[in-house]
Amino acid sequence: MGIAGKILIVDDEQDALENCRRILSRVPYDCLTECNPARALDVIQRERPGLILTDLRMPELDGIEVLTAAKRLDPSVQVVLLTAHATVQTAVTSMRYGAFDYITKPFTSTDLVQVARRAFGEDGTVSTASVEAVRDRGRHDQARPGRRASFARVIGESPVMQSVFDLIEKVAPTHSNVLVYGESGTGKELVAHAIHDASLRAARPFIPVDCVSLPDTLLESELFGHEKGAFTGAHVSKPGLFEIAAGGTVFLDEASGMSQTLQSRLLRVLQERQMRRVGGTRFMDVDVRVIAASNQDLEEACRRGEFREDLYYRLNVIPIALPPLRSREGDIPLLAREFLRRFMKQQGPGVAFVPDLDPSATDLLCGYPWPGNVRELHNVIERAAVLAEGPIITSVHLPERLRAIEAEDSASSEAASFKHAKQAAVTTFERSFLIELLKRHDGHMGRAAREAGVDRKTIERMVKKHGLRALF
């Protein structure tokens, strides 16, 4: 029987692992951590924890596999799944395999402590939960679309990102090919990884391929492999990435950079679900999901004859458009603080604080157009954290190009204020001058015009403009 008060936390994300341990150790619980789910089974057998908190999506073994293995080793142990993909199906599947409960990411420290206390019970014994209660909570979690601030490694609370998260959830369980498009730096590979992590292929490899960094011949060999002697230097046979990724996902980054020859070979793989190595004669079955990405308009490339139209339609089964950072209202401070937290975490246990952004820095970040998108923001925040050397990041810690925009805006604002004040002063002077002029001539516009040295029609227009007809 598991030891009450002893918790094993299993998560391949080191930050998440440490966060859970820190929260539960304060209660206090005796917390063990393991980032390798396969090694976690040895820890369970050796340490006999009363409660296991395990991430649902992990390489090698997923949370359900950890759950079933733990139950075989100790039927009394309670298991709580940590998942970013809470659905009714998640709840039902979890309970079918004997889970006590699950928590939807992102969760609060209160959520974590409460589920641990319920699992151990008031008297330290292990508690139980009903399938129906967890199923109801799954429906409730699904009904709160604004709750998610992240999806796997993708972060955002803006409406446009919530729409992206919704699409990822719908697409991930299928085997359909996906085309992710958006400007450079918007996080296309992160989205591809999120789709893979939430899919039925999550336990199999995710292999990214940069389609523009390699010459055609080398890229062809990388993707499809080659046989010994296929070309000069091919001293041994080598499997391609499509073979290595069997059952998993191949991510083709900047797919628009592929040559027509490679496009033709890729099309055959997608159509026939078979391939052969360079220089080979044997066809092999291919079981991979292809997620492609491009910062170019592939439809326009098809019209120019630069990209095969039939391949485009094969890749573009499910299109996902990533918005530029400047269109993600409210996400910039959220991302900036998350990047700060991650950077400071990397500095080691000696770091006592995570810097925060003061209003001046936040305003600059939100007012900048971010041509490099999220990647540029990440670099700016790392630079600021290095320069700050204290608990607060201000505008002086940000790059000159951000402060230059602030200066331009200030100058523009001052210029606009001066122009407005000048116009108001001219209007006031003009009206007062016109009233005094007409009074001296008893409202006679001809004589007033002669004294002022202007045409009579000018006086008439000015009277109309300032609303003085009733006076004269």
In a domain, 404, yes or no: no
- The mean of the pLDDT values for the chain is 82
Q: Check residues 75 and 123 and name the one with the higher pLDDT.
A: 75
262 pLDDT more than 50: yes
Asked if 26 and 59 sit in the same domain, the reply is yes
Q: In the chain, helix, strand, coil percent, each to 5?
A: 50, 15, 35
Average pLDDT over residues 123-134: 40
In a domain, 405, yes or no: no
In a domain, 155, yes or no: yes
pLDDT of residue 360: 85
Residue finishing a domain among 349, 368, 398: 398
pLDDT of residue 459: 83
Q: Which of 15-29, 282-296, 333-347, 352-366 has the highest mean pLDDT?
A: 282-296
pLDDT of residue 419: 63
Domain holding 216: CATH number?
3.40.50.300
Neighbouring CB atoms inside 10 A of 433's CB total 12
pLDDT interval class at 356 (50, 70, 90) = confident
Q: How many domains does the chain have?
A: 4
415 pLDDT more than 70: no
CA 85 to centroid of chain Cα atoms = 15
pLDDT of residue 411: 43
Asked if 192 and 313 sit in the same domain, the reply is yes
Q: Which of 93-102, 171-180, 225-234 has the highest mean pLDDT?
A: 171-180
pLDDT interval class at 406 (50, 70, 90) = low
Asked if 176 and 315 sit in the same domain, the reply is yes
Q: What are phi and psi of 210, to 5 degrees?
A: -90, 110
pLDDT of residue 2: 66
pLDDT interval class at 288 (50, 70, 90) = very high
Residue finishing a domain among 278, 299, 321: 321
pTM: 0.57
**Cα dihedral 42, 45, 46, 51 in deg (nearest 10):** 100
Domain coverage including residue 425: 411-465
For strands 238-239 and 225-226, give the pairing. antiparallel
pLDDT interval class at 457 (50, 70, 90) = confident
Least confident of 2-6, 95-99, 120-124, 229-233: 120-124
The SS3 assignment for 428 reads helix
Q: Are 23 and 107 within 8 A, CB to CB?
A: no
pLDDT, tens digit, for every residue of 48-102? 999 999 998 888 788 888 988 888 888 888 999 887 755 545 555 666 677 888 7
pLDDT of residue 85: 59
pLDDT interval class at 301 (50, 70, 90) = very high
**Cα dihedral 380, 385, 387, 390 in deg (nearest 10):** 150
pLDDT of residue 138: 42
432 pLDDT more than 60: yes
pLDDT of residue 207: 92
Helices (H) and strands (E) in the chain, counts: 19, 18
Q: Check residues 329 and 90 and name the one with the higher pLDDT.
A: 329
Average pLDDT over residues 244-269: 92
Asked if 280 and 169 sit in the same domain, the reply is yes
107 pLDDT more than 80: no
Maximum separation of any 2 CA atoms in the chain, in Å: 110
132 pLDDT more than 50: no
Q: Check residues 172 and 60 and name the one with the higher pLDDT.
A: 172
In a domain, 367, yes or no: yes
Domain holding 115: CATH number?
3.40.50.2300
Q: Check residues 330 and 467 and name the one with the higher pLDDT.
A: 330
Least confident of 143-147, 256-260, 388-392, 420-424: 143-147
pLDDT of residue 232: 81
Average pLDDT over residues 5-19: 89
pLDDT of residue 336: 92
In a domain, 330, yes or no: yes
Average pLDDT over residues 380-404: 87
pLDDT of residue 124: 39
Asked if 47 and 74 sit in the same domain, the reply is yes
Average pLDDT over residues 114-130: 61
pLDDT of residue 141: 45
pLDDT of residue 190: 94
Least confident of 85-89, 432-436, 439-443: 85-89
311 pLDDT more than 60: yes
In a domain, 406, yes or no: no
Closest CA to 379 of 437, 416, 335, 348: 335
Asked if 181 and 303 sit in the same domain, the reply is yes
In a domain, 472, yes or no: no
Average pLDDT over residues 104-126: 72
pLDDT of residue 230: 84
Compute the distance between CA of residue 174 and CA of residue 157 in angstroms, rounded to an integer: 25
In a domain, 403, yes or no: no
